[in-house]
């Protein structure tokens, strides 16, 4: 086989075999890919999430490489598991690709997915997969996590007096998208704005912080995917509290305030923690974590310095 | 909202909420849909499988209704879990649909998926989902199962002297596809050939038989999805044995021999069981199960009455 092999000529089975060989095995896998199902070792309660990316609505192949997509699909799913306070254990990935996709592109996807797993969740592997030809490039991922005996951290547990902690970057991914939409060629932007491009095209998130925050007593947590304000409203409503952000803290991020508040796909973790846990959270999580505000009693809303913020954010259906 | 609401106008969130309300909750769900991840109760080892159906390669919207697709995506995934000897516990479903898909179509999908679960795996529910607009209708499902302390039943455990048992129908789905490809309108075929149409478009399989066969000592098992012969070769190779089918048993199915041997998407369970377990298997599984041959020592191949069968079957990439 050569680097120019395409699915059309190689066939699904042969291509899939070559990809699976490049994917990290999961520590938890008792039976890996190749039978009707994979089998994972028994653990505690299982967190499970699924997320699908479609060409057009979720990514553009003139912006994203297959390596970018391999990274991004892993990160978006790992952070949803982490946001429950779980330790990720395994992924399954179903790919739909054009018939003239090269096996090399699929290998780049697999290598990037493996590298993203090694960086964010060592020991986690891809235990199952599916490869089909489709007129629309599609990446469907399901991720599992082990709660290791802890209760899941829901959106509904924030209490007045808690501190709001964000772990990860805010606004960079939104800036990346904004720059791409302005029309500068992606390759130029990768040179001039590498952090924004990585944040949007191939994000890496502090996944292990999810289980750490749970162990440290986080009362609520979610993955910031639709913008800090819109996701803040979700916590505010579910917990029946007001989230008040500190303007100086928001200004400390490396992106304009508009993107920090309303940019999408940050994949940072937004958690609330009891006031007496803040010091330990900051010392254990290091520079990834910042206190960005406090939980207040009152009508469910999101404010900064007490001033209401407009409820809007990232909605792919209104673009 | 009315029956004519479309995703384009209603929006993803509202449409998703209406679908989730129609889906059966899972007995195993500690946290259902609505947070970053769902959470399942702790169990034994977890079987996990994923399968995606794309419009064009896997189904045609001029043949299949959304209700058909709801049934089919549930059955194809449940049988992969069952084929490991596991009891299914939960599904996640990610849908990509055209923007002018009606909410009513999605509700028909959800109702059919719930009915298929109730029929084949009571207590199993949909714990997570994702709804996006895509130019290609896409259904990505991941299913989980609990091995309940048993070892997984692999393809590699068949031993000379075992009996070959098939649980479920053979050939009907292949006949259904053949009839559709001949060009008769699907609505006519639904009247004239209801069993073939159901087997191809909206299959129902003996899912509970997977765990039963495992309890009764099945030495190998798989889900017949690519045709009896092609899947038989998989068991023969993995177990290093010859599978010999009994011609009279194959003739007992309600489809021409060609479809029984080479038709795809049967979703029957093909298991090997020790000779001394056959009587109990047949008495416990009833008329769903038939003994169709025996496992013999020798080079990995598939024969009928000792005569080699050609290794071919269902490969969507060569159509």
- Band (pLDDT 50/70/90 cuts) for residue A2 is low
Please answer yes or no on whether A52 and B132 come within 8 Å at the CB atom.
yes
Which one, of A69, A147, A86, lies nearest residue A121 by Cα? Answer: A86
Q: Which helix (H) or strand (E) holds A144?
A: strand A138-146
Taken in order A270, A220, B10, A77, the sign of the CA dihedral is positive
Q: Return the C-alpha torsion angle B88, B94, B96, B101, nearest 10.
A: 70
Q: Which helix (H) or strand (E) holds A199?
A: helix A194-201
Q: What is the pLDDT of residues A50-81, one digit of tens each?
A: 999 999 989 999 999 999 999 999 999 999 99
> Is the per-residue pLDDT at A13 higher than 90?
no
Q: Residue ranges of the domains in chain A?
A: 10-146, 163-313
- In sequence order, the 6+-apart residues with CB closer than 8 A to the CB of B77 are B49, B50, B51, B91, B141, B142, B143
CA distances from B153 to A267, B104, B141, B232, B286 (A): 39, 40, 22, 15, 21
Supply the angle between the helices B66-82 and B103-120 in degrees, to the nearest 10: 30
- In sequence order, the 6+-apart residues with CB closer than 8 A to the CB of B255 are B169, B170, B171, B172, B174, B175, B196, B263
Report the distance separating Cα A187 and Cα A193, nearest Å: 10
> Is the per-residue pLDDT at A284 higher than 80?
yes
Find out whether A5 and A103 touch, Cβ atoms under 8 Å: yes
Report the distance separating Cα A193 and Cα A185, nearest Å: 12
- Give the residue ranges of chain B where pLDDT is below 70: 1-3, 313-319
Which CATH class name applies to B9-146?
A: alpha beta
Question: Would you tell me which residues 113-142 of chain A have a C-beta closer than 8 angstroms to some C-beta of chain B?
Answer: 127-130, 132-136, 138, 140, 142
Please answer yes or no on whether B135 and A140 come within 8 Å at the CB atom.
no
Q: Is A86 on the interface with B (CB under 8 A)?
A: yes
Q: What is the pLDDT of residue A3?
A: 59
Average pLDDT over chain B, rounded to whole?
A: 92
Size of interface A-B (CB pairs under 8 A): 222
Please answer yes or no on whether B316 and A12 come within 8 Å at the CB atom.
yes
- CATH fold of A163-313 reads Phosphoribosyl-aminoimidazole Synthetase; Chain A, domain 2 (3.90.650)
Please answer yes or no on whether A37 and B145 come within 8 Å at the CB atom.
yes
Nearest CB to B40: which of A36, A48, A90? A48
Give burial (CB, 10 Å; 0-12/13-18/19+) of A156. middle
Give burial (CB, 10 Å; 0-12/13-18/19+) of A218. buried
- The answer regarding whether domain A10-146 maps to CATH 3.40.50.720 reads no
* A42 vs B contacts (CB less than 8 Å): 42-46
Taken in order B72, B74, B75, B80, the sign of the CA dihedral is positive
Paired tokens of A245: 């952000």
Q: For residue A61, count other CB atoms closer than 10 A to its CB.
A: 15
Q: What is the pLDDT of residues A210-237, one digit of tens each?
A: 999 999 999 999 999 999 999 999 999 9
Paired tokens of B198: 């159901």
Q: Is B317 on the interface with A (CB under 8 A)?
A: yes
Which one, of B111, B116, B26, B109, lies nearest residue B79 by Cα? Answer: B116
Annotated binding site of B for Mg(2+): 36, 49-51, 80, 130, 223, 226
B5, B16, B50: best mutation site toward chain A, by most A Cβ within 10 Å?
Answer: B50
Cross-strand pairs, B87: B146
Q: Is A282 on the interface with B (CB under 8 A)?
A: no
Report the distance separating Cα B224 and Cα B218, nearest Å: 16
Longest Cα–Cα distance in chain A? 64
Q: What is the pLDDT of residue A319?
A: 38
Report the distance separating Cα A93 and Cα A19, nearest Å: 11
**Alpha-helical segments (H) within chain B:** 7-10, 12-20, 66-82, 103-120, 172-182, 186-192, 194-201, 208-215, 228-239, 247-251, 257-262, 278-285
Per-residue 3-state assignment (H helix, E strand, C coil) for A53-80 = EEECCCECCCCCCHHHHHHHHHHHHHHH
Q: What is the pLDDT of residue B20?
A: 78
Q: Which residue has the higher pLDDT, A42 or B58?
A: B58
Paired tokens of A210: 């999810």
Burial track A281-301 (b if 16+ CB lie within 10 A, e otherwise): bbeebeebbbbbbbbbeeebb
Distance from CA of B259 to the nearest CA of A (A): 22
In degrees, to the nearest 5, what angle opens at C-alpha B101 toward C-alphas B96 and B102?
130
Report the distance separating Cα B207 and Cα B119, nearest Å: 9
Q: Closest chain B residue to A130 measured between Cα atoms?
A: B51
Paired tokens of A244: 């008040």
Cross-strand pairs, B97: B133
Q: What is the pLDDT of residue A112?
A: 95
Backbone angles phi, psi at B102, to 5 degrees: -85, 155
Cα A304 to chain center, whole Å? 25
Q: What is the pLDDT of residues B259-317, one digit of tens each?
A: 999 999 999 999 999 999 999 999 999 988 999 999 999 999 999 999 999 998 655 43
CATH level 2 (architecture), domain B163-318? Alpha-Beta Complex (3.90)
ipTM: 0.89
Q: How many residues does chain B have?
A: 319
Report the distance separating Cα A264 and Cα A81, nearest Å: 18
* A129 vs B contacts (CB less than 8 Å): 50
Annotated binding site of B for ATP: 129-130, 155, 225
Q: What is the pLDDT of residue B318?
A: 40
Paired tokens of B21: 């309300």
Q: Which residue has the higher pLDDT, A27 or B242?
A: B242
Place of tokens 């303007």: A247
- Band (pLDDT 50/70/90 cuts) for residue A19 is confident
């Amino acid at each position: 086989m050569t680097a120019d092999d395409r699915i059309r000529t190689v066939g699904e089975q042969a291509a899939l075999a070559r990809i699976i060989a490049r994917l990290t095995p999961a520590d938890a896998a008792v039976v890996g890919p190749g039978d009707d199902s994979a089998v994972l070792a028994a653990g505690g309660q299982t967190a499970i999430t699924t997320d699908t990316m479609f060409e057009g609505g979720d990514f553009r192949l003139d912006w994203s490489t297959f390596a970018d997509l391999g990274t991004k699909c892993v990160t978006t799913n790992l952070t949803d598991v982490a946001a429950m306070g779980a330790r990720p254990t395994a992924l399954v990935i179903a790919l739909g690709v054009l018939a003239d996709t090269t096996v090399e592109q699929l290998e780049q996807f697999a290598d990037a997915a493996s590298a993203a797993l090694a960086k964010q969740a060592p020991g986690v592997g891809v235990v199952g997969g599916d490869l089909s030809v489709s007129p629309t490039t599609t990446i469907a991922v399901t991720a599992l996590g082990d709660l290791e005996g802890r209760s899941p951290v829901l959106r509904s547990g924030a209490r007045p007096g808690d501190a709001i902690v964000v772990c990860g970057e805010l606004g960079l991914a939104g800036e990346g998208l904004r720059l791409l939409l302005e029309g500068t060629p992606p390759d130029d932007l990768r040179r001039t704005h590498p952090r924004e491009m990585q944040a949007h095209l191939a994000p890496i998130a502090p996944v292990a912080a999810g289980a750490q925050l749970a162990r440290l007593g986080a009362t609520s947590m979610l993955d910031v995917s639709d913008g800090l304000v819109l996701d803040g409203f979700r916590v505010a409503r579910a917990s029946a509290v007001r989230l008040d952000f500190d303007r100086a803290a928001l200004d400390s991020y490396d992106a304009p305030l508009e993107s920090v508040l309303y940019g999408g796909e940050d994949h940072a973790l937004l958690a609330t923690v009891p006031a007496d846990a803040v010091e330990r959270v900051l010392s254990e999580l290091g520079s990834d974590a910042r206190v960005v505000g406090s939980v207040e009693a009152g009508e469910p809303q999101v404010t900064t310095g007490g001033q209401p913020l407009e409820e809007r954010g990232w909605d792919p259906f209104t673009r």
